[in-house]
């Protein structure tokens, strides 16, 4: 009888151990599914974070490019600074740059500044000044040009310029409120 009791106890212990093993295996399997789900969520968030970082990097680069492109245009509020730049280019090269007129176009899609200038000096200095103005870092083109000798024998280049512009806005004015709008100016 002792062997039957031992056998029943062994079977009972085996059944208890087998039940414990199956229960523990089910718990581990459930936890593995939960871990796999969380790992998937972590990967998705990691991918989203990588995309956000890439987008931020692209935005920073785009902002830098935007600044570079905006510097290529002359804001209507900064026309005085632009005119001073033209005159400074002339004085550095030994010429005098006179501004005959300045006008802003009314085209809102492609605003432009139209300038009429006269450059006085030696032939070499006048041509260098024209080159300096033409190749300045602006959206600028010379639409009309004439070269003449004045009564004193100095060369005079008369030119009409078209300069890409941006519309004036109150918070972008660098020259103050007096230059916020450009209509037409003449000087002799």
pLDDT digit string (tens) for 43-72? 999 999 999 999 999 998 998 888 878 778
DSSP label at 188? Answer: -
Buried b / exposed e over 110-131, threshold 16 CB at 10 Å, is ebbbbbbbbbbbeeebbbbbbe
Residues 6+ apart with CB under 8 A from 67: none
Residues listed for the chain: 188
179 in Cβ contact with 169 (< 8 Å): no
Q: What local confidence, expressed as pLDDT, does residue 132 receive?
A: 94
93 in Cβ contact with 83 (< 8 Å): no
Average pLDDT, the chain: 85
Tell me the pLDDT band of 108, cut-offs 50, 70 and 90.
Answer: confident
What single string gives the DSSP state of each residue in 119-141? EEE-HHHHHHHHHHHHTSSSSEE
Q: What local confidence, expressed as pLDDT, does residue 169 receive?
A: 53
CATH second-level architecture of 74-186?
2-Layer Sandwich (3.30)
Residue 94 has which token pair? Answer: 């030994």
Q: What local confidence, expressed as pLDDT, does residue 73 receive?
A: 86
Average pLDDT on 139-167 reads 92
């Amino acid at each position: 009888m002792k062997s039957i009791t031992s056998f029943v106890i062994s079977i009972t212990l085996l059944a208890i151990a087998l039940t414990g093993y199956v229960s523990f295996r089910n718990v581990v399997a459930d936890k593995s599914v939960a871990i796999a789900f969380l790992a998937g969520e972590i990967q998705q968030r990691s991918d989203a974070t990588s995309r956000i970082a890439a987008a931020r990097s692209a935005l920073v680069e785009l902002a830098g490019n935007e600044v570079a492109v905006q510097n290529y245009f002359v804001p209507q509020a900064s026309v005085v600074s632009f005119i001073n730049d033209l005159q400074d280019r002339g004085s550095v090269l030994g010429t005098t740059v006179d501004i005959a007129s300045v006008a802003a176009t009314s085209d809102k899609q492609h605003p432009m500044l139209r300038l009429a200038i006269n450059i006085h000096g030696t032939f070499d200095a006048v041509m260098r000044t024209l080159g300096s103005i033409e190749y300045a870092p602006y959206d600028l083109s010379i639409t009309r040009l004439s070269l003449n000798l004045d009564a004193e024998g100095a060369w005079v280049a008369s030119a009409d310029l078209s300069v890409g512009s941006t519309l004036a806005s109150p918070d972008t004015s660098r020259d103050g409120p007096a230059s916020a709008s450009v209509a037409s100016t003449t000087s002799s």
